Chains A and B, each alone.
Chain A
Amino acid sequence: MIRVVDLWKSFGAREVLKGISLDVPTGTTYVILGGSGSGKTVLMKHVIGLLKPDRGTVLVGDVDIPKLEGKELTEARRMFGMVFQQSALFDSMTVFENVAFPLKERKRGIPAAELKERVIQKLSVVDLAESVLPLYPSELSGGMKKRVALARALIHDPQVVLYDEPTTGLDPITTEYVDDMIVQAKQKLGVTSMVISHDIASSFKVADRLGVLYDGQLAAQGTPEEVRRSDHPHVKKFLSLWFEKQ
């Protein structure tokens, strides 16, 4: 479904991505694990077409994302839903307006009753009640914001959901809740998911496949178990810090 092929990207003299290649089969979750500044967000921005690579490409289905411009790129983005690190909810809008926004913009003239029904249905997927509809983002907890952000990402039934550091800054209980939410979105809706994270525990919990990004390259990738057995010195060091604690 998603195929990243020999992706290179530099900002000035700094090479951020150095020949990344990976495959994410339809209906599975791929986690890019890596430390701060390893290029995870840059990689994700290439997938959704927010950045253009210096070399290589990203294929989503048959669509060659870097080759698209303007209206075609806008159309292609309808395949995606994205959950941002800080949720990125529109703070001038209520929960209802936030979740309804992508659908309202895509299907202009959608009847109000249908719109409300869809919003309530997606909120129920992330275990939020109708009572949150009139609230503003400033009135929500961090965990609730993430859930609203996921409901917003799912409202138009995307084929692919991208998660940017979904558990950063959350307490352990909310982190577990968000992990379950990602797994449930995949199981209930069959979406293909790509997660970038530095949270080792969460990554191993939600991933079908996992890649460890280090110095602009994938130091290891495979199933969580295969990555855990990797001989790459950085991967061993990175993972051991967490596994030794367990």
Chain B
Amino acid sequence: MIFFAGEMLAWMVRPPFRPELVIVQMAAIGVGSTFIISTTGFFTGVVLALQTNYAMHQLGAEGYVGGTVAVGLSRELGPVLTALFLVGRSGSAISTELGTMRVTEQIDAMETMAVSPIQYLVVPRLLAALAMFPLLTMLFNFVGYLGAYLIGILVAEIPAGPFIEHTRTLIDTKDILHGLFKAVIFGGVVALVTCWRGFAATGGATGVGEGTTRAVVTSSIAILVVDTAFVLITVGSGK
């Protein structure tokens, strides 16, 4: 996989560049995932607000629910859950598509035509993932906070003033950037793992299926491991 990653990075900076393929992949990863990210973001925000309110209520600090949810979403749940949902939706599709191309010799055919399959197939997916993971994380965060606000105001009966005021107090630009930076890294990890698994597929339909399963499992674990390492380094050092 390290060799594959090296090739991927090398081909990324070599011409010819194919922006049209990047746009197609951005649409596949981004536009196609808008519904699932919005839906899951909304429900995550709702549940997080209710659970936070349960704890805060015991301290008489219900007004801090909005801020706590915003920080939790921006720094942690937004990037991690978005990445995990995108692994299921887009990562599996990438692995299956490339795996099918591998076992039906389409990748070999491309190579014999003097076109690098890494440059033509992998680089656009990598660039699209690097761009779309943070964008979709922002969508997840926004819809999640909206869900938290609605449930907090309408159901938990938290006054709107303190809800928003404490959000402003608690959240900082660096919290949002922290989450978005992680989202970029997750995008790179998911693109690398799913493309690599797709390229390594062997046999027929069974091989493609096994490759996709491995891609999803490996990507999901990698996201959590990278996230833990990132939090240990940044939060552990107080940043």
> Cβ of B109 and Cβ of A82 under 8 Å apart?
yes
B1 sits at the interface (CB 8 A): no
> Cβ of B108 and Cβ of A50 under 8 Å apart?
yes
Expressed in whole angstroms, the Cα–Cα distance for A86 and B204 within the complex equals: 13
Report B83-118 residues with CB < 8 Å from chain A CB: 100-101, 104-106, 108-116
Q: How many positions in chain B have a CB within 8 Å of any CB in the partner chain?
A: 15
Report A63-104 residues with CB < 8 Å from chain B CB: 74-75, 77-78, 80-82, 84-86, 88-91, 101-102
A residues near B115, Cβ cutoff 8 Å: 101-102, 105
Expressed in whole angstroms, the Cα–Cα distance for A75 and B108 within the complex equals: 16
Taking chain A's interface residues, is the majority helix, strand, or loop, or is none over half, making it mixed? mixed
Expressed in whole angstroms, the Cα–Cα distance for A232 and B68 within the complex equals: 83
A106 sits at the interface (CB 8 A): yes
Question: What is the interface of chain B, defined by CB distance below 8 A to chain A?
Answer: 16, 100-101, 104-106, 108-116
What's the count of A-B pairs with C-beta under 8 Å? 46
Expressed in whole angstroms, the Cα–Cα distance for A90 and B120 within the complex equals: 13
B residues near A91, Cβ cutoff 8 Å: 100, 104, 106
Q: How many positions in chain A have a CB within 8 Å of any CB in the partner chain?
A: 22
Given contacts A77-B111, A105-B113, 8 further A-B contacts (CB under 8 A): A50-B111, A75-B114, A88-B104, A88-B106, A101-B113, A101-B115, A105-B114, A105-B115
Expressed in whole angstroms, the Cα–Cα distance for A101 and B110 within the complex equals: 9
Q: With A48-B112, A82-B112 given, is the CB distance from A88 to B105 under 8 Å?
A: yes
> Cβ of A84 and Cβ of B114 under 8 Å apart?
no
A108 sits at the interface (CB 8 A): yes
Question: What is the interface of chain A, defined by CB distance below 8 A to chain B?
Answer: 48, 50, 74-75, 77-78, 80-82, 84-86, 88-91, 101-102, 105-106, 108, 162
A63 to chain B, nearest CB (A): 13
Closest to B14 in A: A71
> Cβ of A84 and Cβ of B109 under 8 Å apart?
yes
Expressed in whole angstroms, the Cα–Cα distance for A89 and B100 within the complex equals: 12
- Residue of A74, A85, A162 near B114 (CB, 8 A) is A74
A residues near B110, Cβ cutoff 8 Å: 90
B60 to chain A, nearest CB (A): 59
